[in-house]
Amino acid sequence: MTAAHRSGLNPVHIEATTLPDAWFQAVYRCLESGRDFIIDRGSYAGEKRLEFDYITVHIKKPGEQPLLPQIPSQYNLPNPVADDYLTDYLPYLMTGEAKPGESYTYGQRICKYPIHHGTPATYNSREMEHILIQDPEVWEDRKIIVEENGSYFINQMELCIWTYKNKGHRNNQMVLQVAHPADMVLVDPPCLRLIDTRLQDGKLNFIIYFRSWDLWGGFPANLAAMQMMKEYMASEIGVEDGEIIAASKGLHIYNYVWELAECIRGKTIEEFRKGM
């Protein structure tokens, strides 16, 4: 199922056309070259999984439909993600809402994160003028600086849109950040660490990094939702939708889906592409 034990890291790179193409290729390659080991700590501790040492996946046409992989009907296997899943998942990425008992959501980190360095009343104070953005439009826009019960929160997605629209396209600061140092004390810290952006040739591109990533269900669901987010941002900025480069040092397949993954490996990547 997996390559022989080896020393050193084995980085893998995949060139894909669509999101389903990326998933099928990644599953095939993980079975072929992933390392199998027992999880010491975290989700599914004690279970086994196959995992890439490090992988980058370049997806050239991530907006091409369908966004989710469809396993050919002759395999009589469920798709890794239900077609209606994105309807429920998108609010976890594009709004700041969280349910009781949740320590965080990706959307909360991206779209509703507490501001610790200042408020609309202090952004232009002398002690802050070299630290905080000085454009009043940012601090007065309640889509960017969200006010709730006397507290203020930053919507990184809306600030990214505003910056590209008003400050130009060549900007290396527009990173939608999910992780922060205090995550080290969480039992289950965020797997998604950042969504970086690049506006190139009139197109908005995403560069995404996950510290750990479930290949079977998480990879297709996450990327499909992020693609929809990217399409929204591109439309608001007034540019075209672009490509995705996704990377992870922990993309993996859990042992409870190894048999399903082996079933689809019986078909070549070229055959899957023709059927999509």
Encode pLDDT of 236-268 as tens digits: 999 999 999 999 999 999 888 888 888 777 654
**Helical (H) or strand (E) element with 200:** strand 192-200
Encode pLDDT of 85-109 as tens digits: 998 888 889 988 777 777 788 999 9
Q: What is the pLDDT of residue 156?
A: 97
From first to last of the 276 residues of the chain, give the pLDDT tens digit.
445 456 789 999 999 999 999 999 999 999 988 998 877 766 667 778 899 999 999 999 999 999 999 988 877 888 999 989 998 888 889 988 777 777 788 999 999 999 877 777 777 776 677 788 888 899 999 999 999 888 899 999 999 999 999 998 988 999 999 999 999 998 889 999 999 999 999 999 999 999 999 999 999 999 999 999 999 999 999 999 999 999 999 999 988 888 888 877 765 445 544 544
Q: What is the pLDDT of residue 195?
A: 98
Dist CA 213 CA 247 (whole Å): 10
Q: What is the pLDDT of residue 267?
A: 54
Please name the amino acid found at residue 265.
Answer: R
Sheet with 35-38, strands from edge to edge, namely: 35-38, 48-51, 251-254, 213-214
Omega before residue 20 within 30° of 0, cis: no
Give the global pTM: 0.89
Q: What is the pLDDT of residue 9?
A: 92
Beta-carbon contacts of residue 57 (< 8 Å; ≥ 6 apart): 13, 14, 16, 22, 25, 26, 244, 245, 246, 247
- Count the helix, strand and coil residues of the chain and give each as a percent rounded to the nearest 5: 35, 25, 40
Strand partners for 213: 251
Q: What is the pLDDT of residue 42?
A: 63
CB 12 within 8 A of CB 52: yes
